Amino acid sequence: MTYKSHEPKAQKFELTRDRLLDEAENLFAQRGYYAVSVREITSAAAVNLAAVNYHFGNKQNLYLEVFRSRWMPRASQIQQSFRQSLKHNGNPTPDLVIQSFARAFLEGPMSAEERTRHLKLISGELAQPTEAFELVVEQVFRPLFGNLLQDMRKVMPDAIDEKQMVLNIFSILSMVLYFNFARPLIAQFVGGRDIDDLETRLVDHIVKFSLYGIDRGEKEDSI
């Protein structure tokens, strides 16, 4: 990596910083904070070992910055996709709200790899919370939750217990999260074939399950 004099220094600076964040996110998502070394990150990013300390102070801070400047914007993107799909579909029904929500997370506006990375990072925090977890709960999760509650309240009878609704939302969230990172396992059990449309199938399932529970074969319109 020779320094090209026609690139402004500021540009090179940003480039190094970005590459570090990209590679760090990728590696942290794959194997977790402690299993990944700074040496590994800098070498994957093809930058000098000292760059992490220069740009972020220390490893912990690089990790936090991954959440701040990569994870959180992506979370906003997902939420935006959810809201647009809701608006776009006219008069919202419970079905539509749930479907839009599940779609935003499982099919969403990003590539499969990017989505996996995104959800692996948060899975790690759920399993072993660090400082980043607080950040995400306060800045992403709590607002998202508030919005969802409002949306659901709008389309459903107000007779519903607020706490009940919270549990409902957690149930949907649990499926969305879990299905994402247990997908290899699910694919194994559902059968090796037709994994292409597994995503669509999962969304369909989540929507149906969330609305009606397990399919007891009572309905005519089952898939």
Chain residues in the site for a second copy (CB under 8 A): 31-35, 94, 98, 120, 123-124, 126-128, 137, 141, 145, 156-157, 159-161, 163-164, 166-168, 170-175, 177-179, 181-182, 185-186, 189-191, 201-202, 205-206, 208-218, 222-223
Tokens of 71: 């994870």
Contact 16, 49 (CB under 8 A): no
CB atoms near residue 126 (< 10 Å)? 13
The closest of 47, 30, 68, 143 to 38, measured between CA atoms, is 47
Minimum distance, C-beta of residue 129 to DNA, in the bound complex (Å): 19
Residue 92: burial class (beta carbons within 10 Å; 0-12, 13-18, 19+): middle
Helix (H, G, I), strand (E, B) or coil at 34: coil
Q: Note whether 107 binds DNA by CB under 7 A.
A: no
Q: For DNA, what does the binding mask look like between residues 46 and 65, x meaning CB under 7 A?
A: -xxxxxxxxx-xxxx-----
Residue 174 interface partner, choices a second copy, DNA, none, CB cut-off 5-8 Å depending on type? a second copy
Under the criterion CB under 7 A, does residue 21 sit at the interface with DNA?
A: no
Indicate whether 16 belongs to the interface with DNA (CB under 7 A): yes
Match 């070394």 to its residue by tokens: 37
Q: Please, where are the H alpha helices in 89-218?
A: 94-106, 112-127, 131-136, 142-155, 162-181, 183-190, 198-212
Q: Is 10 in the site for DNA (CB under 7 A)?
A: yes
- Say how far apart CA 161 and CA 98 lie, in whole Å: 18
Read off the tokens for 44: 């994957």
Tell me if 9 contacts DNA by CB under 7 A: yes
Q: Residue 212 Cβ, how far from DNA at the closest point, in Å? A: 48
Q: How far is the CB of 124 from DNA (least distance, A)?
A: 16
Residue 80 near DNA by CB under 7 A: no
Q: Which helix (H) or strand (E) holds 52?
A: helix 51-56
3 vs 189, which CB is nearer to a second copy? 189
Least distance CB 76 / a second copy (angstroms): 20
Q: Identify what 108 binds: a second copy, DNA, none; CB under 5 to 8 Å per kind.
A: none
Q: What is the distance between the alpha carbons of residues 178 and 123, in angstroms, rounded to a whole number?
A: 9
> Rule CB under 7 A: which residues touch DNA?
1, 3, 9-10, 12-13, 16, 36-40, 47-55, 57-60
